[in-house]
Chains A and B, each alone.
Chain A
Amino acid sequence: MNTESRLEKILASGELAVTSECGPPRGARPEKVREKAALLKDHVDGINVTDNQTAMVRMSSFAAGVIIKQMGLDPIIQMVARDRNRLAMQSDIIGAYAFGINTMLCLSGDHAKFGDHPMAQGVFDIDSVQMINMVRRMRDEEVFQGGAKIDGAPKMFIGAAANPFADPFELRVMRLAKKVKAGVDFIQTQCIFNLDKFEQWMKGVTDRGLDEKVHILAGITPMKSVGMARYMKNKVPGMDIPDAVIKRLEGVSKEQQPEEGIKMAIESIERIKQIKGVHGFHIMAIEWEEKVPQIVEQAGLYPRPKV
């Protein structure tokens, strides 16, 4: 065990892990963070706190993570390469760890073009793979990226994202291998709707034995409506929504679509549980956090193990 992370302990125990996420508010409203986190608290092993997702300014993941930590829960703070240089990253990592936050996710970040400050200069001093390597060295070698010794090294359990659906597909297992080489501990994948393609990717992962070096948590998003499915298919970069998903939602009345979306998410979890190398689920119920407990329970992932 490298860290005190609850997620690490669950994964080490061999149980399927469950994480979910909460997007911080666009203003100084700590109660909003508490409300969202309270919806998830008994049903997940860690709560991702997004970092200015879709390049929109929000409460910092560090601050929202502290609020969640103070509730006695387990935040997983996300950090994007877009908004911070290596100095800012490292000081935030130390700061977060000083508040007891021990799990984080290293990401490139959506381009500023998609957000509400498209005129901003993206930082991208280091990329997500280099960030993983930096955080691992801070933990294991107790050194800053610049080489100096850290007095009180942050022991982070290190996550990253993987998108099995983006192009070029043949590069996607290799990209994961690079993150493994850099020192990543766990992966949360992009939302999975094309299960055949995900199985194909996982086969590539297990063929190379990467599943023995990194824990893969499969990304699950329940569709709220056929409109959401169409939007994700056409507008969200790197998303793979098969026509069958849209057809199935079209096949039920508007009122029934949310329930159908949840049913589909649960069916996906049941099928993905059978895939070798999957060690858990990351449930991203976008602005629909209240449905996470139902999904976790109906997918047979409740109660969560005590570690």
Chain B
Amino acid sequence: MITAEQKPIPEIIQYIAPYGKILLVGCNECVTVCAAGGRKEVGLLASALHLNSMKQGKTIDIKEITLERQCDPEYVEELTPYIDGVDAVVSMACGCGVQTIAGRYKKTPVFPAVNTRFMGASLGQGVWAERCKGCGDCVLGITGGICPVARCSKHLFNGPCGGTSNGQCEIDPDVDCAWRLIWERLKELGMEDRYEDLMNAKDWRPGGAGGPGKIIREDLA
């Protein structure tokens, strides 16, 4: 999923300071799962913003709504009945959701309430870790299902650097050395000899070096 974390409240307050009527929009997908911008967080943020206004002797009108999927124009269309009645939108979705709203409603400013972090997986209650960089040319098939692009701090393709210490990455003893994990996994799979295959210099174009990514499926478009 795409993970996100709520921005500091003062930053959000600063964005909306000039406005009295706010449409606060959550998303029912990734940001709900990572507890950053779902229905519950929309409610909590609205309360915090109300409280702040009251402290300042002001009032703020906040309409709360959580869309099924904010990165999909079909669902974003559901905002149309409310958009003319508000001064600004605050989105709690990832950057994809914020931009879908901004692209649809040209005259209403949209502000992000979360920082989009990474594509990650859940490691347990309340813990998410980065697992994919979206490099566009997946190598997991030859690295034992562990990604050196996302999980090696130097995204090395041909084995661990000299900084590995007690099996951990040089940047932080809490970060596993991706190449130690890859090696252990290759051994478990009886594929150790694969390690000595040279991995050639990567073509970064599909992962963004070639310009903003776009997929067009002729059969669906």
Contact across chains for B196 and A181 when beta carbons are under 8 A apart: yes
- Measured between beta carbons, the chain B residues less than 8 angstroms from A178 are 158-159, 195-196, 198
Q: Which of B184, B198, B204 contacts A181 (CB 8 A)?
A: B198
Bound-state Cα–Cα, A168 to B162, Å:
10
Instruction: Enumerate chain A residues within 8 angstroms of B202, measured Cβ to Cβ.
Output: 125-126
Is B161 interfacial (CB 8 A cutoff)? Answer: yes
Contacts of B183 in A (CB 8 A): 168, 171
B195 touches A237 (CB 8 A): no
5 further A-B pairs in the complex, CB-CB below 8 A; given A166-B164, A167-B165 = A81-B154, A122-B154, A130-B201, A168-B167, A171-B160
Encoded as 1 (CB less than 8 Å from any B CB) or 0, chain A from 149 to 178 comes to 000000000000111001110010011011
A166 close to B171 (CB less than 8 A): no
**Bound complex: CA A103 to CA B122 (Å):** 47
How many residues on A have C-beta within 8 angstroms of the other chain's C-beta atoms?
Answer: 36
User: Which of A81, A114, A174 is B195 in contact with, Cβ under 8 Å?
Assistant: A174
> When A108-B154, A181-B196 are in contact, do A125 and B204 touch as well, CB less than 8 Å?
yes
Residues 168-182 of chain B: 1 if any A CB is under 8 Å from the residue's CB, otherwise 0? 001100000101100
Bound Cα distance A281, B91 (Å): 61
With an 8 A cutoff between CB atoms, is A292 at the interface? no
Q: How far is the CA of A163 from the CA of B155 in the complex (A)?
A: 18
Say if the beta carbon of A199 comes within 8 Å of chain B.
Answer: no
Interface set, chain B 195-221, CB cutoff 8 A to A:
195-196, 198-202, 204
Separation of A126 and B184 alpha carbons in the complex (Å): 24
Q: Give the interface SS of chain B, mostly helix, strand, loop or mixed.
A: loop
Q: Do A133 and B180 touch (CB < 8 A)?
A: no
Q: Mark interface residues in A85-124 (1 if CB within 8 Å of B CB, else 0).
A: 0100000000000000000000011110110000000101
Chain B's nearest CB lies how many Å from the CB of A127?
4
The total of chain B residues at the interface (CB under 8 A) is 30
Q: A129-B157, A166-B162, A174-B196 are in contact. Are A86 and B201 (CB under 8 A)?
A: yes
Whether B154 contacts A127 by the Cβ 8 Å rule is yes
Minimum CB distance partner of A177 in chain B: B196
Return A267 CB to nearest CB of chain B, in Å. Answer: 24
Closest A residue to B195 using CB positions: A174
Q: Is B156 an interface residue (CB 8 A)?
A: yes
Assess whether A194 is interfacial by the CB under 8 Å rule: no
Do A124 and B156 contact each other (CB < 8 Å), given the known contacts A178-B198, A237-B170? yes
**B-contact 0/1 string along A118-145, CB 8 Å cutoff:** 0000101111111001100000000001
Interface string of A233-249 (1 = CB under 8 A from B): 00001100000000000
Q: Is A190 an interface residue (CB 8 A)?
A: yes
Closest chain A CB from B171 CB (angstroms): 5
Pairs across A and B, CB under 8 Å, 8 listed: A126-B201, A166-B161, A166-B164, A167-B167, A168-B184, A171-B179, A182-B198, A237-B162
Q: Which of B133-172 contact A (CB under 8 A)?
A: 153-167, 170-171
Residues of the A chain whose Cβ atoms lie less than 8 Å from the Cβ of B155? 124, 127
Q: How far is the CA of A187 from the CA of B159 in the complex (A)?
A: 16
Q: Which residues of A contact B162 (CB under 8 A)?
A: 108, 161-163, 166, 190, 237-238
Judge whether A215 is part of the interface by a CB distance below 8 angstroms.
no
Q: Which listed residue, B153, B195, B198, B204, touches A133 by the CB 8 Å rule?
A: B198
Q: Which positions 55-71 of chain B face chain A at CB distance < 8 Å?
A: none
